[in-house]
Amino acid sequence: MNIKPVCGKAAYCAGLLFFFLLLPAMAFAQKKEKKTSLEELVQWMQGTYSSYTQSVADTDYFNITLNMHPIWQTRTDGKWLYVEQAVAAMQYRPYRQRVYQIVRKGKNTFESRVYTLPKPERFVGQWNNTALFEGFTPDSLTLRDGCTISLSKKGNAYIGQTNATTCPSDLRGAAYATSKVTLTATTLNSWDQGFDETGKQVWGAVKGPYRFAKALPAAPLQYPPAKRIQQTDDYHGTTVADPYRWMEDENGPDTRQWVAAQNELTAGYINQTGFKQPLEHQLQQYFNYPKMSSPRKQGAYYYFFKNNGLQNHSVLYRQKDLNTQREVFLDPNTFSADGSVSLSVISFSHDNRYLAYATSVGGSDWREFRIIDLQSNQTLPEKLDNIKFSGAAWYKDGFFYTRYAKPVAGKELSATNEAARIFYHKTGTPQTEDVLVYESKDNPRLSFGAMVTSDEKYIILSVSEGSASGNSLFYALADKWQFGFNPLISSFEHNFSVVDNVAGKLLVETNYKAPNYRLVLIDPANPTEQNWTELVPEKPNAVLDNAYLANNKLLLSYMQDVSSRLYIYNLTNGQPETEITLPALGIAGNISADKDEPVFFYTFESFIYPPTIFKYDFSDSSTIVFYKPEIPFNFADYVTEQVFYPSKDGTQVPMFITHRKKIPLNGQHPCLLYSYGGFNISRIPEFKPENLPFYASGGIYAVANLRGGAEYGETWHKAGMLEKKQNVFDDYIAAAQYLIKNGYTRSKKLAATGRSNGGLLIGAVMNQQPDLFAVALPVVGVMDMLRFHKFTIGWAWVSEYGSADNARQFPFLYAYSPYHNIKPQLKYPATLVMTADRDDRVVPAHSYKYTAALQYAYKGPNPILIRIDTMSGHGGGGQGKTTAQLIETYAEVWSFVFKNLGMYPAP
């Protein structure tokens, strides 16, 4: 018998032969039946087997997956099975494919004849493709003489083996192979061994047989009850039911009881997979590497963040120069014993005398600001609270910030955030003495931001009506801000962002008359458009991402086809001087530059390129690697490709696909498709250590850059908002179809995921085309599109989504709202909804109501579960979480994915 050597472990090789010869022995007799029919035997044989449990307990054994499925069911010359066997992490490339013919030899005895297939690669994973197997007959098969296994029933098991020396083998110098098998209703034990002509064993297990367990149908889940109330609302003549309105009270006893019961159910399901512990171990290895941010020069020191590996939070260090001993300056790990208090903002005063920093409790958007005197290293006594969506814009010995009214007790995480105001705080004084700088009594739903130019000459206020609107700009001479602000840009139609003051004029980045953005100079004394100077015009094929002043030049970061391009421009005439070569398709970010510094730093990363810090020196235009992390993963075995696929209306949409090199495109790979598609935010090629277990287990990770994002400027953004939101869903569905059509995966191997606006995306496509996916992971999604604007900062999204209060906008919102479009007749994929109890951006009620409605409507076999993080905020796996919490989160998420995609953790 010709057995290919596909392993380095003897026990693994020992498990190869037996599966193909012995499977007929998988007859599982029922105790009450004395006669075992051939039909009954085949019924017990078919299914999926795994040696995962044994491989975890003993590393001498590989994790093997074995599939057996009936074919040619109308033939009368016995029963036929297609058999496929593979290392679990490489199911797309089985090392053995066979066909078995099962025939009866006596009352309780059977014989399994083993055949090889012509061109077996075309059959990988195709056991349900009846037409494919009907295209040929047993005459096309080759019988493996001497390798037949004879089985007989003994008690509740079938015992079988090959003849002593008749099954030929040339593996590792063998002359023949033997196989022994013991089969029960739920297990298969097989022991294959190879021997040379002298009878000496040359391959195969020494300890004993491979032990396989059969995958059995899971018992139906019993979901915690969720009462349905008679709540309806009238929207412009349309009556809409909302039976789970009570879940909007996040502190209500019924809500708390439901949350606790759902978390208990989900934890039990995850634990039963048996995957959490090995995945946690892998994730700890992949997270355990030093992580650094680009160093930033502030006065006499360089400051940077560093995490030694598994610290809960990164620590702020400083050092005199890049070669001296570093010292801990601010350690967020000391803020709380459990790590629930995190550092969210730092801001240095222009004279480097002070540092303002903000903390968040449990990932909430609410912030508390403190101040450190950098001369004495003492923390000042004042504490500033009721702050959201704000930095600290320093002027002299104080700073501007945005503050809201103190929320009603018990509604801190759900009450609407309106009436923002800008205050100025002077160091050393209590917050009660802060000076009100700006407010809008006429329109409480305006958002504000403040910045101060680096020379402290101008104070700039940015005012916007919503997250998708443009913004207006106001300015004041810094020493006269108490007398009010003057308009610089009056409309809200376009985006304007001040970079800095350049020779008395404001350098402004804008998409006004330039969807891909340009740089203009505006004289505050004469800000009318005809007096603007265009310094750097819009590029037709790239979007201006960010602009910095560096060494009295312009450092411009562009995005071209969703990858970074870095350029040095002349600050005087706006002409390009140098393009900085980047390592690959990826993103250059975390840029640390100063107009007076002769060097700058940036971090480059991509899906399989860990964040690496580079240092650029203007003196000789050189780039060197400043810091490169070392991670125990062989990235050289993987590749990222970028493809462009047509959406429903023909629009070409880019997508990144990361996978192991040289995989066959046979549709057998597990795949995770991640997207966002909204709010002018790009899904960039970023490195995520949490994805490494998925790669190692044979997974493909795809990121589709849907309309609604910033990948191709404002035109791309507007094509995916308001009444055009369906374009985003169509783009995502087309991405899934492309992956399937081109052989990367198939529906039963495809998982869908997205966060926040991306969670809404997944909820919508689950309703519109659930058959495309085997798994869905909507994370902190906006699921109730009729009421999102009634909570926290949701009103700011009306410019992106529209509002159900608007008679013209209600119909398209109602048409795709995930909560309102769940249909009982649909076959939904295995679903794990994720949210966090302290998410005060997309309140958890969205996910609560959606999950309750889906559990109520769907009666199929796939699990519908929800995972609710505690002491965590928006991101459902990111904001405010410690490293330990992140590892636990991803171990549980991957456990769910692996279970429902038929995957196993790599060894």
Cβ neighbours around 37 below 10 Å, total: 12
Task: Say which of 756, 803, 817, 895 is annotated catalytic.
Answer: 756
Q: How far is CA 353 from CA 317, 349, 399, in A?
A: 17, 6, 13
* 874 flagged as catalytic: yes
Cβ neighbours around 207 below 10 Å, total: 11
Q: Where are the extended beta strands (E) located within 513-619?
A: 518-522, 533-536, 543-550, 553-560, 563-569, 576-580, 587-592, 599-606, 609-617
Kindly state the DSSP code that residue 716 receives in the 8-state scheme. Answer: H
In the chain, the amino acid numbered 595 is K
In the chain, the amino acid numbered 548 is Y
Which ranges of 452-541 would DSSP assign to H, the alpha helix? none
Nearest to 64 by CA among 195, 203, 180, 192: 192
For helices 276-287 and 883-901, angle between their N-to-C axes, nearest 10 degrees:
130
Beta bridge pairs of residue 876: none
Beta bridge pairs of residue 358: 345, 369
- By CB atoms closer than 10 A (0-12, 13-18, 19+), residue 19 is buried
Residues 555, 593 contacting (CB under 8 angstroms): yes
Q: How far is CA 773 from CA 435, 726, 897, in A?
A: 55, 19, 12
Largest CA distance in the chain: 104
Backbone φ, ψ for residue 711 (5° rounding) = -60, -30
3-class secondary-structure state, position 888: helix
Task: Say which of 563, 846, 874, 895 is annotated catalytic.
Answer: 874
Residues 51, 63 contacting (CB under 8 angstroms): yes
Residues 418, 408 contacting (CB under 8 angstroms): no
Backbone φ, ψ for residue 234 (5° rounding) = -100, 120
3-class secondary-structure state, position 531: helix
Residues 478, 459 contacting (CB under 8 angstroms): yes
H helices then E strands: how many in the chain?
A: 14, 53
Residues 516, 565 contacting (CB under 8 angstroms): no
Beta bridge pairs of residue 159: 152, 182
Residues 66, 50 contacting (CB under 8 angstroms): yes
Residues 614, 624 contacting (CB under 8 angstroms): yes
- By CB atoms closer than 10 A (0-12, 13-18, 19+), residue 561 is middle
Residue 520 and residue 508: Cα distance in Å, rounded? 5
Residues in CB range of 526: below 8 A, 6 or more apart: none
Query: Regarding beta strands 96-104 and 563-569, do their DSSP bridges make them parallel or antiparallel, or are they unpaired?
Result: unpaired
Residue 104 and residue 107: Cα distance in Å, rounded? 8
* 756 flagged as catalytic: yes
Residues 761, 728 contacting (CB under 8 angstroms): yes
Residues 375, 353 contacting (CB under 8 angstroms): yes
In the chain, the amino acid numbered 213 is A
- Return the structure tokens found at 614: 């580079």
Residues in CB range of 328: below 8 A, 6 or more apart: 315, 316, 317
- By CB atoms closer than 10 A (0-12, 13-18, 19+), residue 332 is buried
Cβ neighbours around 159 below 10 Å, total: 15
Residue 393 and residue 697: Cα distance in Å, rounded? 47
Among all residues, which ones are annotated catalytic? 756, 874
